[in-house]
Amino acid sequence: MSRPDMPVFSFELPVSSDFRFDSCLQYMARSDKECLYKIADGEVRRLLRLGTREVLVAIRSRSDYELGVTVLHGGPLSEREQKELRDYLRCWFDIDRDLVPFYALAQNNGLFGEVVRSFYGLRIVGIPDLFEAVCWAVLGQQVNLSFAYTLKERLTTAYGSSFMWEGTLYRMFPTPQQLLAASREELGGLQLTRMKAAAIMEVAGRMAAGDLSRDSLLAMGDFHVMEKTLLNIKGIGPWTANYVLMRCLGDPGAFPVGDAGLLNAVKQLLNMEKKPTESQLRELFSGWKGWEAYLTFYLWRTLA
């Protein structure tokens, strides 16, 4: 619980003129089952780990050119923690992405251009924590979105950290080390399949041992190499790898071809009798080379 005499630490984070925070919030608010952040009155609040400390932050739009960031609990921050938080937010909202080429494609594409223009300013809302990103992708394999949220909430409640502030409970997704304390039988009790539990424990083990990290993947400098590295982990297939590339590693050309939401969005948009085949989808996306992830994200938005 905060105290009136506690210092409040805040700063501004510059954004480009084609960034729309409200559009990002609208996407993030699509499910009331989300357990890792709270949205209210144009602001998102989230409990984050900076180094070894847990801080509660609030982010809102201050103007067309900056976000206001306030540390509600855990401030002030050291210079290292400030940099870590800024980097997290840049990844979370893909702030540094130049979307001019993407929007230029939309001007010349009658098929999907209207969708892109209708959500102008929307950024891919990322998942900066690699473990959370991989787990979320694994949890979403072959289940509907609602049940995936249920599984995430069960994992977070059972093994993650939490903090009560002004009567609201904020939760954090478990770290690899926290989840390694669980057994596969316990994960099965949360209704994770054996394959999902095995994949999550494999990733947790690799990350806890220092054999896998977001920084080490990004240091490869080649998204295709990153994808191959992820595919070498049992339980991670092409869809999961591309989802992680898209939401965590910042690849605008990642293409989760078999994504159910994407297929449904295209089917509805084009009034197709059946969902498009993989070859049909690739043909429809042929004019968006290098921006498949962004077009996918905008098409997902049509379902929200």
By annotation, the residues acting in catalysis are 259
Compute φ and ψ for 162, nearest 5 degrees: -150, 160
Nearest to 46 by CA among 54, 31, 34, 56: 56
List the one residue out of 297, 267, 304, 300 whose CA is nearest residue 284: 267
Q: Which residues pair with 71 in a beta bridge?
A: 9, 57
The first and second tokens of residue 227, run together, are 């994808």
Q: Name residues whose C-beta falls within 8 Å of residue 47's C-beta, 6 or more positions apart in sequence.
A: 54, 55, 56, 161, 162, 163, 170, 171, 172
Q: How far is Cα of residue 105 from the mean position of the Cα atoms in its chain?
A: 24
Q: What are phi and psi of 117, to 5 degrees?
A: -65, -30
User: Which residue is it, tokens 């959500």?
Assistant: 119
**Residue 102: count of CB within 10 angstroms of its CB:** 18
Q: Are residues 170 and 286 in contact, defined by beta-carbon separation less than 8 angstroms?
A: no
Ramachandran angles phi, psi of 223, nearest 5°: -65, -30
Retrieve residue 189's tokens: 């009790």
- Are 203 and 173 in contact by the 8 Å Cβ rule? The answer is no
Report the alpha-carbon distance of residue 101 to residue 55 in Å, rounded.
Answer: 36
User: Which residue type, as a one-letter code, is found at position 38?
Assistant: K
